[in-house]
Amino acid sequence: MQETKDIIDFLREKERACRVMTRAYNHWLFFLTPVRWATIFIGVVFPAFAGISFLRHEEVIWGMPWQTVAAWATFIASVVAALHSALHCESHQLGCQHLRARYCALADEFKLAIILDEKLLRKKADELRLKFAKLDESTTETPTKWAIDKAEREIPLVRG
């Protein structure tokens, strides 16, 4: 009887751990998505603006010579695009989306395992323990500490 309670406590704790990671990825992606779109926007619009300023040949744009405006727009776009590429923003965000889905699915599996017959409970708990360990070990993209801390505060603690 105590063993069954211990297994159920384990399943609840791991479900919570998965929910925390799911929520942490949500917070991190909520931050990353607008940053991603801003870098794409800057990388496309600033060079276009620089090109237009070359074509217009106006003496002054926003109080500066058109060559200066075009140079700054091109410079900013190139720096932002280089940072976006060097930091592997696209692959990081895709990896985070994938891991969020995997942690969410695993949390559901832990939750459903609790209602299993006692005879199957130990086997399913061992299977899920391995799945969790594998996922945890293979995780290469992680949310920031602030996202994890925020998720920890938001997901209720397991009560036995």
Gap between the Cα atoms of 128 and 106, Å rounded = 8
Give the sign of the dihedral formed by CA 85, CA 138, CA 8, CA 117. positive
Position 43 in a domain? yes
Number of domains in the chain: 1
Position 110 in a domain? yes
Q: Which two tokens stand for residue 8?
A: 């159920």
pTM of the model: 0.82
Backbone angles phi, psi at 16, to 5 degrees: -60, -45
Position 15 in a domain? yes
Position 160 in a domain? no
For residue 158, the SS3 value is: coil
Q: State the 10-residue block means of pLDDT for the chain, 160 residues long.
A: 87 96 97 91 84 68 74 88 87 95 97 88 94 93 96 87
Position 159 in a domain? no
Domain that holds residue 138: 2-154
Gap between the Cα atoms of 134 and 139, Å rounded = 9
Position 132 in a domain? yes
Position 116 in a domain? yes
Amino acid symbol at 66: W
Amino acid symbol at 118: E
Gap between the Cα atoms of 67 and 60, Å rounded = 9
